Amino acid sequence: MARTARPAGPPGEPRRVGYLYVLPGFVVYALFALYPLLKAVYLSLFDWDGLTLGTWVGLGNYGEVLTDERLRAAFGHALVLMVFFALLPLGIGLVLASILHRARVRGLSFFRTVVFLPQVVAMVVIAVAWRRIYAPDGTINQVLSAIGLESWTRGWLGEYVFALPAVGLVGTWFETGLVTVLLLAGMGRISRDLYEAARLDGAGPVREFFAVTLPSVRGEIAVALTLTVIAALKTFDLIYLTTAGGPGHQTTVPSYEVYRQAFELGRVGLACAIGVCLTVVIFAISVVITRVGDRAGD
């Protein structure tokens, strides 16, 4: 039996056939992700109310996103939320995970579940619960009154200084579990030999953490940061349900503005422009995080 000569190249099916395998997935992806994205970019070039004929404004909407004080502020608030959604949980998660990892806690899986629990609960439920906690006669104020700090009590979500951090702390509470569990998994993979070597060299727990644990979980840190930063930047439900952007405009975020512009004010074009900008920001930050994570991992 004569076999036709296989063309040069990598082993396996020829490339053309390879693309064929990808096709079904790509069609779905194109239909539900690429097409809406392109359509959004396209709509962002119009001044369109969603009903009547739109007018072409080119990059006018993007100009407005950059110049409108309120929209700029929304992006600023999202950056503040990043600290609460990503950096704080990372710090807390690192401490928690290394304690849980080192101490060989009894019932580790129980604690892991408890820490992870916020992730399982729907954000709507979380928002409503925290709204009660922050209310003028809510849990926090009751505790403050009980320990004699009556003068510190306030309507937390209605205060100009405290509203954004208050919302941010809900995010911290929400994301810490995810980060901790991710890091715990990473730490579980670290070879015991490394710790043994470190200990033989006379390293204490702190030194051990910085010399062995931290470098080993860089990959997990990158993943955790990517996930939490994206969560911070696209927060909508939490803001919508706790403060509706208030007091004044102290807690508006880009996704809330997208909703407001499109559904309340009927400025679909501008809403798309905000959405596209948000996508670009998220994309850029994710690229930076993964790049840094990868490089450090080498």
Residues forming the site for other proteins (CB under 8 A):
7, 9-10, 15-16, 19, 30, 34-35, 38-39, 42-43, 46, 48-56, 131, 134-137, 153-160, 163, 243-249, 260, 263-266, 268
Short-list 206, 211, 227, 213, CA closest to 185: 213
Q: How far apart are CA 200 and CA 130, in angstroms?
A: 48
Q: How far is the CB of 31 from other proteins (least distance, A)?
A: 11
Residue 1 or 53: the one with the smaller Cβ distance to other proteins is: 53
Query: Count of alpha carbons within 13 Å of 38, Cβ hemisphere only?
Result: 7
Q: Give kind and range of the element (H or E) at residue 19.
A: helix 15-29
User: Closest distance between other proteins and the C-beta of residue 211, in Å?
Assistant: 42
Least gap, CB of 163 to other proteins (angstroms)? 8
CB-wise, 8 or 120, nearer to other proteins? 8
Contact call for residues 89 and 175 (beta carbons, < 8 A)? yes
Q: Residue 103 CB, nearest distance to other proteins (Å)?
A: 39
- Residue type present at position 52: T
To other proteins, the closest distance from the beta carbon of 127 in angstroms equals: 12
Q: What are phi and psi of 113, to 5 degrees?
A: -65, -45
Cα-only R_g, the chain: 25
Which runs of E-coded beta strand occur in the chain?
46-47, 55-56
Q: Using the minimum distance from each CB to other proteins, give the nearer residue, 197 or 244.
A: 244
**SS3 at position 138:** coil
Q: Which is nearer to other proteins, 138 or 219 (CB)?
A: 138
User: Measured from the CB atom, is 48 or 174 closer to other proteins?
Assistant: 48
